[in-house]
Amino acid sequence: MTAPWTVQTLTAALDRGEISAEAVARQSLARMAAEDGRLNAVITPNERLLEEARAIDLRRAAGEALGPLAGVPVLVKDTMNMAGLPTTGGWSKLSARAGGVDLVPLRDSPVVARMRAAGALLLGKTNVPVMSASGTNANDSWAGPTLNAIAPERAPGGSSAGSATGVAAGYAVIGLAEETGGSIQNPAAAQGLVGIKPTFGLVPNSGVMPLAGSTRDVVGPVAMTVMDAAIALDVLAGYTAEDPKTVAGIGQRPPGGYAGSIRPGALKGKRLGLYGAGWRHGALSPETAALFAQACDGLRALGAELVEDPFAGSGFADLACFISALPYDPRGEESVVHDLDRYLLAFGDSSPVHSLESLRAVTGVDPFDRAGPLGYLWEMEQFPALVASYRDVPNLSAFRAIREDYLWLFNRVMAQHRLDGMVMPQTRAEPPLLFSPDPILETAVSEINIAGLPGVTVPAGLYPSGAGFGLLFTGPLWSEGLLLSFAAEYEAITC
């Protein structure tokens, strides 16, 4: 884009006739043409973009009522079904361009449909790692690696790498991201963006290629500002019969919506707990500790009262059960075999791939092979049985128990210390080099994804490499409105 648009400034310019939706679309395309050969964020462009932009201009000229994102450029993560465009999951076996077979949905996923109904200019679909199985990068994608737009030598964050890079590079105002284990938080922080990881069940994730669709997967926005992210969440959130678990979110939206709930002075008098060994057994790097100390000074200046390591002695950190290869707890992802089969069934018999059985037959590969991208799940005791009986409703009693344990302890500590939320560095160290085998070392990914808690990531500086340092605000279930107010208040002193 040729101007630092926000949703509000762009829609105001469109309403005043200072620019057209078609001109905005052409600016985005020009930016992509200039940068994406290097950054590799967008893997499937929307060939109907200009036609759709002209239709918005005609509707605006006719005085029709338009949605809140009419003419606003938005990028869609590859795993989200977008009618007529292939969903590849970063896997060569599901991309005709890489010698595989295309999986082309006939209908939009609910989140894409909501963006379309809001008038967004859907620029296209963005790069992901194979099966969304990396929270660090998209290096193994059939389309090749995506670069970090602000620190090209550093990991961009995954699995929503392409959406974050496209927003950070100025192609779009909003990127649709999805998280199972850090895939909104990590790329947002690494590329200096705002990211919202919503409460599980607030935003529908049906029609999105799952990694833990029944237990952990959430869709949320990445954006340059807190307000833009909040406006996007207002579009995305809410019940749909296509995703029955979203019934849990009815009545949880703040009056006036998420954007309308942002108020100045939100941090004054609020008690925020700080990251410590009681939360996670993992120290901050010296660079992270210094950046976090500066951020804490800013929070105190805004009137927040900060409580050191309120989870000390609670047993919270001891709930984690990391796998051998990564400091990551995958519990809940055991639902993926059943969830993926159900996702594929929705494509219908006209699709060459319409079940896990047909996926194996057409591709000649089992995505759940021990040597595959999801091979780490074989460390989970119950996973072999779930693979063998994937058509049966999976027994997720162990996951339910650990979610209850996390929520019980979280709520107890919050009440004991009279906390309004938690704030911590989103990562324990700067992002690794792009092709390093090291993962992004986050602080709260496993905990809040297993518990289903919300989180808002907001930029709070840069590491020496130029990669982003982000703060993460988290709090009780359904507290997105409060967390967004905290993030907006902090953002105001860093702009």
Exposed/middle/buried for residue 420 (C-beta within 10 Å: 0-12, 13-18, 19+): buried
Residue 1 has pLDDT above 50, yes or no: no
Q: Which of 226, 255, 221, 251 is nearest to 238 (CA)?
A: 251
Specify the pairing of strand 305-307 against strand 271-274. Answer: parallel
Q: What are the pLDDT digits (tens) for 272-311?
A: 999 999 999 999 999 999 999 999 999 999 999 999 999 9
**Token output for 136:** 């660090």
Kindly state the DSSP code that residue 145 receives in the 8-state scheme.
P
Q: What is the pLDDT of residue 372?
A: 83
Residue 303 near residue 269 (C-beta atoms within 8 A)? yes
Q: Answer yes or no: is 2 within a domain.
A: no
- 479 noted as active-site residue: no
pLDDT band at 371 (very low <50, low <70, confident <90, very high): confident
Please give the tally of structural domains in the chain: 1
Q: Which of 28, 134, 159, 261 is catalytic?
A: 159
Q: What is the pLDDT of residue 442?
A: 97
Mean pLDDT for the stretch of residues 173-195: 98
Q: Answer yes or no: is 134 within a domain.
A: yes
Task: Report the share of the chain in percent with pLDDT over 90.
Answer: 95
pLDDT band at 2 (very low <50, low <70, confident <90, very high): very low
Residue 115 near residue 34 (C-beta atoms within 8 A)? no
- 183 noted as active-site residue: yes
CATH code, 350: 3.90.1300.10
Q: Answer yes or no: is 314 within a domain.
A: yes
**Token output for 492:** 């105001």
Q: Answer yes or no: is 364 within a domain.
A: yes
Residue 82 near residue 76 (C-beta atoms within 8 A)? yes
- The residues with which 462 forms a beta bridge, in sequence order, are 468
Residues 6+ apart with CB under 8 A from 9: none
pLDDT band at 325 (very low <50, low <70, confident <90, very high): confident
Q: Which of 20, 28, 77, 141 is catalytic?
A: 77
pLDDT band at 394 (very low <50, low <70, confident <90, very high): very high
Largest CA distance in the chain: 64
- 159 noted as active-site residue: yes
Q: What are the pLDDT digits (tens) for 423-464?
A: 999 999 999 999 999 999 999 999 999 999 999 999 999 999
Mean pLDDT for the stretch of residues 109-126: 98
186 three-state secondary structure: helix
Q: What is the pLDDT of residue 381?
A: 86
Q: What is the pLDDT of residue 252?
A: 97
Q: Which of these ranges, 379-383, 419-423, 478-482, has the smallest mean pLDDT?
A: 379-383
Q: What are the pLDDT digits (tens) for 25-77?
A: 999 999 999 999 999 999 999 999 999 999 999 999 999 999 999 999 999 99
The range of the structural domain enclosing residue 488 comes to 7-492
The span from the CA of 85 to the CA of 302, in Å, is 46
Residue 3 has pLDDT above 60, yes or no: no
Positive or negative torsion for Cα 298, 299, 304, 308: negative
Q: Answer yes or no: is 1 within a domain.
A: no
The span from the CA of 84 to the CA of 339, in Å, is 22
Q: What are the pLDDT digits (tens) for 234-283?
A: 999 999 999 999 999 999 999 999 999 999 999 999 999 999 999 999 99
Q: Which of 134, 141, 163, 183 is catalytic?
A: 183
pLDDT band at 326 (very low <50, low <70, confident <90, very high): confident
Q: What is the pLDDT of residue 469?
A: 98
Residue 308 near residue 424 (C-beta atoms within 8 A)? no
Q: What is the pLDDT of residue 4?
A: 78
The span from the CA of 39 to the CA of 377, in Å, is 31
Sheet holding 42-45, edge to edge: 42-45, 121-126, 73-77, 174-179, 218-223, 194-197, 455-462, 468-474, 421-425, 271-274, 305-307
- The residues with which 126 forms a beta bridge, in sequence order, are 42, 77
Cα angle 73, 78, 82; round to 5: 70
Exposed/middle/buried for residue 305 (C-beta within 10 Å: 0-12, 13-18, 19+): middle
Q: Answer yes or no: is 335 within a domain.
A: yes
Task: Report the share of the chain in percent with pLDDT over 70.
Answer: 99
